[in-house]
Amino acid sequence: MQQLLSKRGFICDMDGVLYHGERVLPGVAEFIEWLYEQDKRFLFLTNASDKTPLELHQKLQRMGIDVDPSHFYTSALATAAFLRSQAPGCSAYVIGDHGLHCALYDAGISITDVRPDYVVVGETNSYNFDQIQKAMNLVNAGARLIATNYDITGPIEGGIKPACRALTAPIEAACGKRAYYVGKPNPLMMRTGLQILGVHSSEAAMIGDRMDTDIVAGVETGLDTVLVLSGVTDERTADSFPYRPRLILSGVGQIPGGNDADALNGEDVDALADASVDAPAAEE
């Protein structure tokens, strides 16, 4: 744990790490207070594309936590930056909510369904058959397919919801082309996060609840990795992946206390998984 506490920079996921839906998770307020008290550089880097940094700031504010909008970076912003670097002044047909629309507009990308350069898919609550059909035909006509992130589900209060990859999959299947996914675990987004913080990868930690996006992104970018079990992953699920986080915590609330006894490492997860497999069945 001391290795984690000594890091200068922290990149943290949001859904499943800070909150579920509109409910803040235990220990989050204390964790953020610790980041400020210890003068850590931190960035909340989320694959969700539906909200702007200002709206994320306001969401945490409603939960009693005040974090400046400059500490938020979304896959919508990463997607807009990617398209601007690839094709300045390009056009896109967009399936997504206003967070994505705002990011693209601010990057000088026009939004249209008439011969667009790109089809861009993000999270939305208004997904429908007409959008799938429109996107499929535009891609078949030459538009390039871009998705804001690789999450297939996301945590909500009382369960999970379909996320960007689940919404992109029907379009990929219908047109036979694979999207380019911009958000985590794409190193593009992670490198941008490190640049914003102004720290080297060896000085930073990635904290997240997903093995297939947060943790693999941290591993491949050279950050210290911390899996929290407050989101979509449990110990058994973590053990099914060929890579490991360095630490596993129940939630970010454990970090300010810095108690090594409460943390698991990759070998501990292997031992727990083996024990659960080898344990005899309970007698009825």
Question: What secondary structure letter does DSSP report for 187?
Answer: H
Tokens, residue 105: 């507009």
15 is known as an active-site residue: yes
What residues contact 10, with CB distance under 8 A and at least 6 apart? 35, 40, 41, 42, 43, 204, 205, 207
Please name the helix (run of DSSP H) or strand (run of DSSP E) that holds residue 270, with its range, or none: helix 266-278
Task: State the Cα–Cα distance between residues 2 and 138, nearest whole angstrom.
Answer: 52
Q: Which amino acid is at 151?
A: D
Indicate the helix (H) or strand (E) that contains 59.
Answer: helix 53-62
Nearest-CA neighbor of 143 among 170, 193, 179?
179
Catalytic residue among 13, 117, 209, 214: 13
Phi, psi (5° rounding) for residue 170? -60, -35
| Distance of alpha carbon 154 from alpha carbon 21, whole angstroms | 10
Of 15, 117, 209, 239, the active-site residue reads: 15
β-pairing, 110-111 vs 180-181, is unpaired
Identify whether 13 is a catalytic site residue: yes
Nearby residues of 210 by Cβ (< 8 Å), 6 or more positions away? 13, 16, 151, 231, 232, 233
Indicate the length of the chain as a whole number.
284
3-state secondary structure of 184: coil
Both tokens assigned to 5:
């506490």
Which residues are catalytic, by number?
A: 13, 15
